[in-house]
Chain A
Amino acid sequence: MRFTLTWGLGGMAALLIMQQLLTGILLGFFYKPLPVQAYESVQHIQSTIFLGQLIRNLHHWSGHVLVVVVFLHLLRVFLSGAFYAPRRANWLVGLGLAVLVLMANFSGYLLPWDQLSYWAITIATAMLSYIPFIGISLQELVRGGEEVGASTLQLFYSIHTTLIPLLLFVLMGYHFWFVRKAGGVLVPANNENAEMKKQETVSVMPELLVREVSFAAVITCALLLFSMAVDAPLGDMANPGFTPPNVKAPWYFLGAQELLLHVIPLIAVFFLPLSIGLFLICLPLVGNKTGKTHTLIKSLFIGGAIFMLALTIIGIWFRGAGMEWVWPW
């Protein structure tokens, strides 16, 4: 097989998930999923427990890096056309995993119970209420009540620590098994240059393994160093009576939130996510026999990705208090 720079993203995601499991279990020993106590237990973890701050930092930063890595992995798989048969089903499993990773990050967002988590989750779940017909009840279902409160925290905690890890591991097993079943990690090559490809390839064992392990070591070191240098934020305790200025949804929803300022809510929080989801799900079905992606689909995908990326970047760095336009420098 051939190595390129985009390889290793899948392995990296798996590594990060394992890391999240380990740090998550450690944090779970001392975390209390109740308002006020949640915040205080996070403070306790950070200030009195040996290495507590570092472990929370690792869990926090790896969680965000994981979302980025999963997006990049999806992008790479798309660009190399690795979603056509026989990898059609695995593309769907991968999409399910991506949704789970997003849900994991989102449900974890609330747990520190500081102002940032409380209001970010309030805003993000309020976006649900714009979905026609079922929006209000969906919002109430997700919040476990009318407002973000104790029942929301408990719900998010059990989803974050039980449901998602379980589903994640089941789907991950499936994902890997499918890779083997589809004939390894190599993307199906065109017949005419198969001969040429063969000369450049090496066996997966041990070449890829060695590469992945050394890559994993590098990533772990980098994350460790970053977590030693930069603390995960913990603001004031959640206060339902006071919304701090400059409050935003989690960054991966900032594209939708930014869009919400410009178009009617129905498009931003309903039609757009729905069409993105349907587009990704239907992607492997509209392929052709050569295994090459249609130019129109390719440009649609890349255009959409750039559009959402631009909106997200604007949302993260160019919006200050009250969503006023600010320059990040």
Chain B
Amino acid sequence: MGVAMVTKKSSSRRSFLSKIWITLGLAALLQVLAGTVFFLVTGRKRQDRPTAQLIQIGVIADFPSGSVTLIAKGHFYLARLDDGGFLAISRKCTHLGCAVPWVAERKQFECPCHASLFDMTGNVIQAPAPRALDLYPVSFERDTILVDISNPIKRSVFSVEQVVFAREAA
């Protein structure tokens, strides 16, 4: 009986110890995993993401009404609609991210990948693109056009409120 008790006691102590080992092992594993995740996440983070990254495009007079101009350094098009309003339209197709060229003869954006078509305002004329091309905020400083390229604005369709007009006083 005494022997049995000792065996039982030692086996339960052993199982207790092994439980501790397993717990410690799991904790160590979690630490390694969490460390790896944080390592990767902080490594990916950009150094400083400015709230607005304004780039100067040019003066208003350079862009006649009814024109679409590629601004290569910002990866977007500056469209001046027939009524004189401005739109900064992203070059990236909303379907699968191809760069969309502006075809002046037909006055539309034609995606080379899956033949999506967009009109001058970035609206979808022909699928498979699911929504209108993204926009960038346009602002003015006297008669210079500024575009904030830090954050593209997603939209489903074009609406007149998106168009930005230069103040007549300028």
B113 adjacent to A322 (CB under 8 Å): yes
Judge if A321 is at the interface, Cβ distance under 8 Å.
Answer: yes
List 11 interface pairs A-B (beta carbons < 8 Å), by A numbering: A119-B98, A119-B113, A122-B97, A126-B96, A145-B44, A145-B46, A151-B44, A240-B99, A244-B112, A246-B112, A260-B128
**A265 neighbours in B (Cβ, 8 Å):** 130
Judge if A254 is at the interface, Cβ distance under 8 Å.
Answer: no
Other-chain contact of A123, B46, B72, B75, B98 (Cβ < 8 Å)? B98
Query: Given A241-B72, A241-B75, is A323 in contact with B99 using a C-beta cutoff of 8 Å?
Result: no
Judge if A144 is at the interface, Cβ distance under 8 Å.
Answer: yes
**A153 neighbours in B (Cβ, 8 Å):** none
- On B, residues with C-beta under 8 Å from A are 44, 46, 72, 75, 91, 95-101, 110-115, 128, 130
Judge if A173 is at the interface, Cβ distance under 8 Å.
Answer: no
B115 adjacent to A324 (CB under 8 Å): yes
Q: How far is the CB of B159 from chain A (nearest CB, A)?
A: 23
Q: How far is the CB of A140 from chain B (nearest CB, A)?
A: 8
- On A, residues with C-beta under 8 Å from B are 119, 122-123, 125-127, 141, 144-145, 151, 240-247, 260-261, 265, 321-324
A240 and B75 alpha carbons, distance in the complex (Å): 9
**B96 neighbours in A (Cβ, 8 Å):** 122-123, 126-127, 260
B112 adjacent to A261 (CB under 8 Å): no
Q: How far is the CB of A35 from chain B (nearest CB, A)?
A: 16
**A261 neighbours in B (Cβ, 8 Å):** 114, 128
Q: How far is the CB of B155 from chain A (nearest CB, A)?
A: 16
Across chains A and B, the number of contacting residue pairs, with CB separation under 8 Å, is 56
**B110 neighbours in A (Cβ, 8 Å):** 322
Other-chain contact of B113, A151, A240, A323 (Cβ < 8 Å)? A323
**B130 neighbours in A (Cβ, 8 Å):** 265
Q: How far is the CB of A253 from chain B (nearest CB, A)?
A: 11
**A122 neighbours in B (Cβ, 8 Å):** 96-98
Nearest-neighbor residue (CB-CB) of A146 within chain B: B152
A260 and B101 alpha carbons, distance in the complex (Å): 22
**A127 neighbours in B (Cβ, 8 Å):** 96
Query: Given A261-B114, A322-B112, A322-B113, is A123 in contact with B97 using a C-beta cutoff of 8 Å?
Result: yes
**B75 neighbours in A (Cβ, 8 Å):** 240-241
Other A-B pairs beyond A245-B112, A247-B113, 20, CB < 8 Å: A119-B113, A123-B113, A125-B97, A151-B44, A240-B99, A241-B99, A242-B99, A243-B98, A243-B100, A243-B111, A243-B113, A246-B112, A247-B112, A261-B114, A261-B128, A322-B110, A322-B111, A322-B112, A322-B113, A323-B114
Q: How far is the CB of A311 from chain B (nearest CB, A)?
A: 15
A322 adjacent to B97 (CB under 8 Å): no
Nearest-neighbor residue (CB-CB) of A323 within chain B: B114
**B128 neighbours in A (Cβ, 8 Å):** 260-261
**A245 neighbours in B (Cβ, 8 Å):** 112
